[in-house]
Amino acid sequence: MADLITTLWNCWNSRNKFIFKGQIDKAQSIWEKDSNLSSEFRIYNPVNPPILAQIEDIKKRKRPTNSTVKVNFDATVNDNRMGYGVIIRYEDGFVLGGGGGFQDGSFPVLEAECIALERSVEVANKLNMLGKVTFETDSAELANKWNMDDGDITIIGSRIKKCKEVFNLFNSASLV
């Protein structure tokens, strides 16, 4: 049945080429197109048994052995508003939770990233992530401030110091 339909379709297509474009297909070329399409259609035809091997592997999500939780956070700044987002996931990518929000006001980029860090620590605490936690940011400036000595007396420095104190709640925590 599939061969018949494919042959009819090719004949119809050749007729349209002749009427609209003035092209004449030879009977041999119609037959070659038909046999090629039939063999390709047979591979995907659900009526016939499949020609290609079917892989029926049951996949089940497994928690990583080292049970590392990654907390990705980011912030964006617009004219008089900033937004932040947090995603908490296992190392293999399975999402555990997240959140985000907006704050009105004019913020420097570093301060917005610092607010996003604070919110990500809050979300991780609310979800009781007490094991090994890695906080990931795309802000090199924030990571550099984090890795500096505690001698930073700026407002951002004091915010980072508070976040470092909260990191003691986790068994192991780092910012990258």
Query: Using H for helix, E for strand and C for coil, what is the string for 55-95?
Result: CCCCCCCCCCCCCCEEEEEEEEECCCEEEEEEEEEECCCCE
Q: Which of 135, 61, 65 is nearest to 94 (CA)?
A: 61
pLDDT digits (tens, 9 = 90+) for 123-171: 888 887 777 888 888 888 888 777 776 666 677 777 777 777 777 777 7
Structure letter (DSSP) for residue 112: H
- Which domains, ranges and CATH numbers included, belong to the chain? 2-44 (no CATH), 69-175 (3.30.420.10)
Structure tokens at 18: 């002749």
The pLDDT value recorded for residue 61 is 46
pLDDT digits (tens, 9 = 90+) for 4-41: 676 676 677 777 777 788 877 777 777 777 677 666 65
What mean pLDDT is predicted for residues 59-86? 78
Beta bridge partners of 95: 89
In this structure, what is the dihedral angle of CA atoms 129, 122, 118, 73, given to the nearest 10 degrees?
Answer: 60
* Reported pTM: 0.57
Q: Which of 115, 114, 135, 111 is nearest to 124 (CA)?
A: 135
The pLDDT value recorded for residue 11 is 72
φ, ψ for residue 45 (rounded to 5)?
Answer: -75, 120
